[in-house]
Each structure stands twice: as structure tokens, then as C-alpha cells.
Amino acid sequence: MVFRLMPRPGKAAALSPAGGSDRLSVRFGHENGLLPSRLRSPEDALQHSMTPHPPQDTAASQLAPAPILSVSGLWKRFSGVDWVVRDFELSVGEGEILSILGPSGCGKTTLLRLIAGFETPERGEIHNDGKLISRPGWGVPPEQRRIGMVFQEYTLFPHLTVRENVQFGLTPSLAARVRGWIGGKSKTPPENGEARKARKEGLVSLMALCGLSEMSDRYPHELSGGQQQRVALARALVTAPRMLLMDEPFSNLDSGLRHHLREEVRAILKAAGTTSILVTHDQEEAINMGDRLAVMNQGRLEQVGAPLEVLQNPANRFVASFIGGNRFLPGRLENGKVVTELGEFPLPPPTPPTLLSVASGESNRAMGPSATSPVPSGGLVDVLLRPSQVAANPNGSGVPSLVLRVQYLNGQALYTLALPSGLEIQALLPESTPLRPGERTHLRFEPSPLIYFPSE
């Protein structure tokens, strides 16, 4: 249960419904479509598809198209292991990029494997394009689902060039070549001239979109990690899948390259109009890649919504503590106020619950003061404390505190401080703040909005 104590804006940040006039549809040669001539590089794609998440309210969500993917009541476990996926419900709209965020071991990869067809559920169903593709004991084979997958490891064929790796899924002769390389035998089916021409044109367009045109004759060992990841992405897109699944695709890259590449990949996916699911435990990656953000814990879906909405309006204690490095400040309700060590904060009039989830077919989650089980006056609560809501005033008024540690992060400094009670909290301050470990300062807590939970 979560309580929200300030009126929230009437609109939530989200991506405009997929399929709008500004979305570029790209099909490749073997589907008789070509990449628009104006999109010849990742930079072009960025200009056309990397746009801020504009506001979207629940009324706009009613106009969203029917979901491409629908997961209902999904359960999965392995022999001798507790449930890995528990009663999972989710839908993904056409052209949408959904980020699934959660701690290691929460079931993210297993969920992807269920969608891809590598595993079958114990309970529940998965529908793709309105067609049943998975149920207990049965599933459409992975190769028939038109779902592509990009793994943590790039799994490129070392003896094939970039071009050959990308077109592997389209060229019968290359498929035979790889099967021979791993010890198999196969016959190469014929390919007519029209199909060969269409495939070649589509391949040229895709290579340009992924920024691979200048390196098409190189081998994997001659590429950087970021270049290899783009090759893996192009290979997954070349067969024009209805959906692309990405399992921690940037985890093997350094932080600078990871930031740059995720912008490129998002641009490529938006330009291609490819519905995508990204799973990661990197919060920055999930927030910046996805049109929507789903938070997963112990096999369950905890919350789903626009990234900014999930950040600002956590549905429960786990989401509040997991995202953003937030901590909790003990407090007590007294005479219409929340009394804490960092000050007293008045309670505004109760506001009606507001809807968080905007996906078709999903249960909306309510935020706001509970009408059925409010915390009584004198009751103990835990106030959500974000590092960005704490301000330091070394020479002024406020609550005295001791600087314990400092960590510098891209122009900002994350301070860990001890309050008089011994409680440790964090404050995100400018890098130029003149404070060092062992020094004393004064703090102000400026919650906006103020969110609290019943004390555990």
C-alpha cells in the first residue's frame, strides 16, 4: 500500500501511441520493401526517431492499438526450484520498446525464453498477433514465431564477414556453409534472380541503417565490442521479425560506449518500427531505452508505466526502494502532519486514486491515499526520501549531519550522511559542493511530492 500526499499533475509522461504519423515503417528486401533513402545511417535515424517522451494521459491510452504480445497468467519453474515466473500479466503494443527492469535472478531472462519459445509455461498463455503461441505442454516452435533475439554474447560466426553474418538468415548457401562448419550436411535450395535482387537491396539498406556499410568485409575479430553488437542487432532484424527480444545486450560494453550504443539501437528500432522488449538490471539503461518501463521482482510484475511515471509514482515499497537509490525516513502521523527527524510536513487534502498503467489489457494500479485502510493518527510511517530531495546548507539552518562518504557521478556528488539519530541518508548535490568526509553540515528535506508507506 502506498500513500501519495500531494496532488499530482493531470498528465503522465509517456510515448505517443505507436503507429502515429511520425513513425517510420521499414521493411527489408525479402518483404519487397526498401529502407527510405533519407535514412542511411544511425545519425539519420536518431534525428527521425529519438524524440522525448511526450505527455500521455489515460484517455490517450484508450486509442492505443491492440497489443502485438499478450502474456496472461504465466507461471514457470524448473525442477527443484521455486517459481521463477509467477502469475505474470503483460501486453506490448505495436512498435513499442518495453524495458523490463529487475534485480539479478528475478526471472527476466526466463520470461524472454518463454516468449521466444525456448521454454514452455506450467500455467498461462502467450499470444502473438492474436494467435496462441504458448500454453502448458505446447508451443509454436521458435523458428515459426517471427521473434528475433539478441543475447548478451554476440554469437557471431568467426569465419564469416560482417555482411555474411548479417545475411546468414536469408542466404541458403551461407546456412549450408555454417552447418558444414559445425559438422552437418545440407543441400542448398535454389534462389531465383528476383528474390536474390530483393534480398541484396534490403541488405544494403539494413547495413546502412546499422552503420555497418564501411565494415561489411571485416571479420568479427576485427571489430570493437560496439560494432559486434550492431552486427548482432542487424542479423536479428534482417528477417523482419514481428518482435525483437534483447537480453542484457549492452552488459559487455564500457559505460561510455554503452550510453552511445543504446541511443543508436533505440533509433534503429524506432526507424524499423520493430516491437521490442529489453531486459536489464541497469536502471539508466531501462529508463532511457524504453517507451514504457516494467519492474519485475521474484518473478512478479510489480509495476508498469511510462518511465517518468514509475520513477515519480512508485506503486509499492519495492519499486520505491529499487529505483533511484531511494531510502526511507521514519515518521509519525500527528494532527494532519508527518513528523520526521528532518522536519514536519503537512498533509494536503486526500486526492482520488490515479491510474498508472496505460497498456491495453492490463490491470491499472491505483496510487493515492487508501480509502479502506488509512494509517491512523499516531501511526508510524516510512517517508520516501530521494537523494535529489535533500539539500545541504553548510553555514545555515537545518538538521545537523555528518558527512560519511562521497561518490562523484558525472558532474554530481552522491553524499552519504549521518543524522543525529545515526540514520544514514543520501543527498545528490553539485560536484562543486565544498564538503568532505568527516565534515559537518546542515540538511533540508524538500519532498515534492511527499510519499509514504505504512511502517513495516
pLDDT given at position 55 = 39
| Domains observed in the chain | 13-308 (3.40.50.300), 326-454 (2.40.50.100)
Give yes or no for a contact between 86 and 298, defined as CB atoms under 8 angstroms apart.
yes
pLDDT given at position 429 = 93
Q: Could you write out the DSSP letters of every residue in 255-322?
A: HHHHHHHHHHHHHHHHHHT-EEEEEES-HHHHHHH-SEEEEEETTEEEEEE-HHHHHHS-SSHHHHHH
**What is residue 389's three-state secondary structure?**
helix
Give yes or no for a contact between 150 and 268, defined as CB atoms under 8 angstroms apart.
no
> What is the chain's pLDDT, residue by residue, as a tens digit (456 residues)?
554 444 333 333 333 333 333 333 333 333 333 333 334 344 444 444 444 444 334 333 334 456 899 999 999 999 878 899 999 999 999 999 999 999 989 999 999 999 999 999 999 999 999 999 999 999 999 989 989 888 877 789 999 999 989 888 775 554 454 445 444 444 444 556 666 666 677 788 888 878 888 898 999 999 988 888 889 888 888 878 889 999 988 887 777 777 888 888 898 889 888 899 999 988 988 999 999 999 999 999 999 999 999 988 898 899 999 987 889 999 999 888 899 999 999 875 555 444 333 333 333 333 333 323 367 778 899 999 999 999 998 777 899 999 999 999 878 999 999 999 999 999 999 998 889 999 999 999 998 888 888 887
pLDDT given at position 133 = 96
pLDDT given at position 342 = 94
pLDDT given at position 107 = 93
pLDDT given at position 348 = 58
pLDDT given at position 195 = 61
Q: Nearest Cα to 342, choosing from 417, 292, 269?
A: 417
Q: How far apart are CA 337 and CA 317, in angstroms?
A: 21
Write down the pTM of the prediction: 0.74
Q: How far apart are CA 165 and CA 167, in angstroms?
A: 6
Q: How far is CA 71 from CA 67, 285, 288, 302, in A?
A: 10, 24, 24, 15
**What is residue 181's three-state secondary structure?**
helix
pLDDT given at position 220 = 92
pLDDT given at position 39 = 40
Amino acid at 157: F
pLDDT given at position 128 = 94
Provide the CB-side half-sphere exposure for 359 (13 A, CA). 26
Give yes or no for a contact between 450 and 5, defined as CB atoms under 8 angstroms apart.
yes
Q: How far apart are CA 183 and CA 370, in angstroms?
A: 64
275-280/243-247 β-pairing: parallel
Q: What is the dihedral of CA 168, 172, 174, 180, to 10 degrees?
A: 120
Give yes or no for a contact between 142 and 335, defined as CB atoms under 8 angstroms apart.
no
Provide the CB-side half-sphere exposure for 290 (13 A, CA). 29
